[in-house]
Amino acid sequence: MQRDCDVLVIGSGAGGLATAITAKKHGLSVLVIEKEPVFGGTTAFSGGVLWVPGNRHGKEANPGDTRAAARAYLQAETGNFFQPEAIDAFLQAGPQMLDWFERETAVRFVPTLYPDYHPTVEGGVDVGRSVLAAPFDTSALGPDLKRLRPPLATITFMGMMFNSSNADIKHFFNATKSLTSFAYVTKRLAAHALEVARHGRGVQVTSGNALAARLAKSCFDLQIPILTETPALRLTLEDGRVTGAEVPGGRITARKGVVLACGGYAQDLARRAGIYAHLKAGGDHFSPVPQGNTGDGIRLGEQVGGAFDAEFAQPAAWMPVSRVPGKGVFPHLLDRYKPGMIAVGADGRRFTNESESYHDVGAAMVAQMRAGGDASCWLICDHRTIRKYGLGHAKPAPMPLWMWTRTGYLKKGRTLADLARACGIDAKGLEATVAAYNRGAVQGRDDAFHRGETSFNRYLADPDNKPNPCVAPVAQGPFYAVKLEMGDLGTFDGLKTTVEGQVQTRAGAAIPGLYAVGNDRASIMGGNYPGAGITLGPAMVFGWITGRHLAGIGISEQKEGAA
């Protein structure tokens, strides 16, 4: 293979495709290569949410929000890692990027009601900074549909993705109680069966699968090739400038630049073993991130002098997960927030507010190990709670539980002491913990960790549970538990870059012709997780900035470039 282009993008997630689309729309020829047989990267597995302060969708819900408030919030959240120039560029370009993509491409977003994850911190808000990729009919991809990465299997139901409002879920679990829901479910199943018969998979997608599909559709509309099963073996250099990449059977030359967009190092087992504190201490880690995210972009950058530092206290976006026999890894995105669920360590004691973000709960799990415990825990509830909300991959009524207790995924006990023995945790500690928790819970209080006292805690809880949507007693046996272990949604440490994305050497010099976006670039969040979409938001914003820079447009220029 001998090909040339202006811009070569290595990787096909949101950061890489956003860069490719932007560069192409501004007059450059672009080629995207992807080592896996499917495109979409981690984006296709994700929730599809972008954190973009000042976006027009959010302004409708929170017109009083300001860029100054968002800056103050990020300064408080990032602490010693605050990068004023990069943060200012992100806040200025973010709303412009969102409007540009909606105007110029097939990418569309819808508002969400997500609060910032720490809304009580200075500059935090209760709504308005996160947007969600609009649902998409992937049959529009035509023959390229077969190359779109499917959604994570453990978060689908019979291969179907549910809509962002969870209306589908409510109908499915009401199907035996409501004729309306029964009719809805029957129609949905019939439509899904027809999709599978026609296309080999469901085509009505949401969340990150919709974002990946919309970005890919925009690439194909612009005649940007996405070459799958095409790994970059090494970068090529001429007189100190990166000029392209060697691929199996040939070379691709890039006149303007090469963009590393390989998704970080979440599956680089050797690198993460030397960085993650719980792994260094002998713990385990089970990432739902695609297996292909093996740090290729970072290694390619290092090979030509790019600087990588593992400097963040929390080097990845932590995600508590459970291992589902025969299914894979299940990310605990929703159940932890529901009333009547608590998390305990091996001593049977609670250690955190279960309704904080996945990253914060993960950081608390890591802290347990530093304190001499285990970087895992048990999410526990009673019979009433599991039948109402489910637990992990086990679904609520009317779906049966026996299949999950039989495989050992769910532990069950007639009493708390029975459950403790099944889990291998301290029975007296668990009984004391539940008794202390229940004393406040009957009145809707969490006296130990103040669960439900922020808008974010309450957002994914149960508003019908009064007076606190996050808190209810753990009282009615039998009792159930699922083991939560450490996982992640992607890495924060990455290559050092300029604001425009140029990869830098250890001395701070930009390497001519080499750029990094997405998780190959060090996060501006400093190892913290301020809100829903703080990975995809910066990935697309800085991808847009990098694409414009390759076309000769500076950050301070307000013109939008060629359509």
Same domain, 389 and 480: yes
Say what percent of the chain tops pLDDT 70. 91
| 8-state DSSP, 497 | B
Q: What is the crossing angle of helices 427-441 and 416-423, to 10°? A: 130
- Among residues 212, 527, 247, 511, which one has the least CA distance to residue 363? 527
* Cα gap 235→245, rounded to integer Å: 4
* Cα gap 405→412, rounded to integer Å: 7
* Cα gap 73→456, rounded to integer Å: 15
Same domain, 375 and 521: no
Same domain, 230 and 348: no
Question: What pLDDT is attached to residue 438?
Answer: 98
Q: Residue 327 half-sphere exposure, CB side, CA atoms within 13 Å?
A: 24
Same domain, 450 and 325: yes
Question: What pLDDT is attached to residue 555?
Answer: 76
Cα angle, residue 561 at apex, residues 558 and 563 outer, rounded to 5°: 135
Report the SS3 class of residue 123: coil
Tens of pLDDT, residues 65-106: 999 999 999 999 999 999 999 999 999 999 999 999 999 999
* Cα gap 36→166, rounded to integer Å: 31
Tens of pLDDT, residues 254-309: 999 999 999 999 999 999 999 999 999 989 999 999 999 999 999 999 999 999 99
Tens of pLDDT, residues 499-538: 999 999 999 999 999 999 999 999 999 999 999 999 999 9
Residue that finishes a domain, picked among 470, 488, 506: 488
- pTM of structure: 0.93
Q: Which helix (H) or strand (E) holds 515?
A: strand 510-516
Locate the DSSP E strands across 307-384: 316-324, 328-331, 341-344, 376-382
Residue 147 belongs to some domain of the structure? no
Residue 139 belongs to some domain of the structure? no
Residue that finishes a domain, picked among 439, 464, 488: 488
Same domain, 300 and 329: no
Decide if 366 contacts 357 (C-beta within 8 A): no
Decide if 519 contacts 490 (C-beta within 8 A): yes
Structure token digits, residue 137: 């009919």
Show Cβ contacts of residue 83 under 8 Å, excluding neighbours closer than 6 positions.
Answer: 524
Residue 480 belongs to some domain of the structure? yes
Same domain, 381 and 280: no
Residue 432 has pLDDT above 50, yes or no: yes
Mean pLDDT of 545-557: 90
Same domain, 102 and 238: yes
- Among residues 531, 528, 524, 491, which one has the least CA distance to residue 82? 524
Locate the DSSP E strands across 94-178: 109-111, 130-133, 136-137
Same domain, 321 and 425: yes
Q: Please give the residue range of the domain that contains residue 328.
A: 316-488
Reported confidence tier of residue 165, pLDDT bands at 50, 70, 90: very low
Averaged pLDDT of the chain: 93
Reported confidence tier of residue 170, pLDDT bands at 50, 70, 90: low
Residue 142 belongs to some domain of the structure? no
Decide if 51 contacts 129 (C-beta within 8 A): yes
Residue 98 belongs to some domain of the structure? yes
Decide if 141 contacts 205 (C-beta within 8 A): no
- Location of structure tokens 């007693």: 473
Same domain, 527 and 496: yes
Gyration radius of the chain over CA positions: 24
Reported confidence tier of residue 163, pLDDT bands at 50, 70, 90: low
Q: What is the CATH number of the domain that holds 85?
A: 3.50.50.60
Same domain, 354 and 503: no
Domain count, the chain: 3
Residue 150 belongs to some domain of the structure? no
Same domain, 241 and 390: no
Report the SS3 class of residue 429: helix
Residue 82 belongs to some domain of the structure? yes
Structure token digits, residue 53: 């302060």
Residue 145 belongs to some domain of the structure? no
Same domain, 420 and 281: no
